[in-house]
Structure 1
Amino acid sequence: MIDKGQLRATMRARRKRLAGLDPMAASRLADHVEALPPGDPVAVYRAIGSEIDMDALSVALERQGRTLCLPVVIQTDEAMIFRRWASGEPLEPDAIGVPAPLPLAEVVSPALILTPLLAFDAVGGRLGQGGGYYDRTFAALPATLRVGVAYTGQQVETLSLEIHDVRLHGVLTEAGYMAVP
């Protein structure tokens, strides 16, 4: 059985390759905005490295009239908070250097969290970067809908989940939205 560290390295390389093969994939996420579950505000993320970019989807969500927010790490061993944000508003690095809304932005509780990932399976398993930020946040907000955002090619047959891993309710890719049974 492959360990999570090795799987993460493999999936990072795969995601990077997928990003290079289809640079327009991120723009097609917006084509599927109507398929996303309802809920407001919606937590989006600022793509880092080869994560699938959320810019086009963020604009499409705003056009639907949805309020956006971004995750913010305040303490590295705690759940993230979410601050209201609109496309184009200024950002500054949070505690781990990820672009986040300014501290004056309103803290909100998202109804829907769109999360980046390295791999996903058909039953809602999610492999993240390994820091546990989203899993801690999902555990702190159990009623919030959780949707992974990825390239279609990031799907794997099955992921071995640990007790702290929280399943997704669905996955959005450039090919469409898949609800998890």
Structure 2
Amino acid sequence: MPLAAADPKSGDLKSGDPKSALRRQALARRRDVDPATRAALSGRLAAVGLEWARRWRPRIVAAFSPIRDEPDCRPLIAALQAHGFATALPVASGRSAPLAFRLWRAGEPLLRGALGAPEPGAAAPLVEPDLLFVPLAAFDRRGHRIGYGAGFYDHALRRLRASGPIRAVGVAYSVSEIAAAPDEPHDQRLDFILTEREWIDARGRG
């Protein structure tokens, strides 16, 4: 049931914005997700994510390295690579730098990035994905998300959408759903959200 509603440890990089309380509440719920639910989402993500990738045939699929209590995308990445898809991970050079994406395959080295997430090194080619699996703290059924407050994915999605059609899929536990996420003109909506229970089509929901 949807609930109404920094530093790297809290996940709240911008404690003064109107989304801060919702973010903190959502992250607290996410921390309490049980291992069975975590495994269910990871397995569902690999199966459903691959199914939709095979339908859409993207050139590059971006996922993310899990940090803190985020869902585990590694089985999805392995499934995508096993079926011939090129995969990438996000790279953040700092809070003021734009988010970029670099090609990565399982087994290749990862470095600790500026914000603490494992990232491909500078030798990995930069790419522009057209299917993105996006992390979040909270979401609503209109496709609005609350991230960690730095706006990385909003900027990245805006840039990618300006260049051509892409699809953005939020990855979240069902406890991360809220009734309505505050939205601003610069916010970029998700097209879909995948939880351990549902595949939510957020397009056209207003």
TM (norm. structure 1) is 0.91
Match of 2:190 among 168, 171, 179: 168
1:125–1:166 Cα contact (<8 Å) kept: yes
Structure 1 match to 2:147: 128
Q: CA deviation at 1:75?
A: 4.2
Q: 1:112 & 1:135 partners in 2: Cα distance?
A: 15
| 1:27 aligned partner, one-letter code | G
More strand by share: 1
Q: In 2 relative to 1, CA 21–7 (structure 1 residues): closer, same or farther, beyond 3 Å? A: farther
Match of 2:58 among 30, 39, 44: 39
1:35–1:177 Cα contact (<8 Å) kept: no
Structure 2 match to 1:7: 22
Q: 1:21 & 1:67 partners in 2: Cα distance?
A: 29
TM (norm. structure 2) is 0.81
Q: 2:34 & 2:139 partners in 1: Cα distance?
A: 16
Q: 1:107 & 1:164 partners in 2: Cα distance?
A: 25
Unaligned runs of at least 5 residues, structure 2: 6-17
Q: CA deviation at 1:145?
A: 1.7
2:26–2:175 Cα contact (<8 Å) kept: no
Q: 1:88 & 1:8 partners in 2: Cα distance?
A: 33
Q: 1:94 & 1:128 partners in 2: Cα distance?
A: 18
Number of residue pairs matched? 181
1:146–1:170 Cα contact (<8 Å) kept: yes
Structure 2 match to 1:155: 177
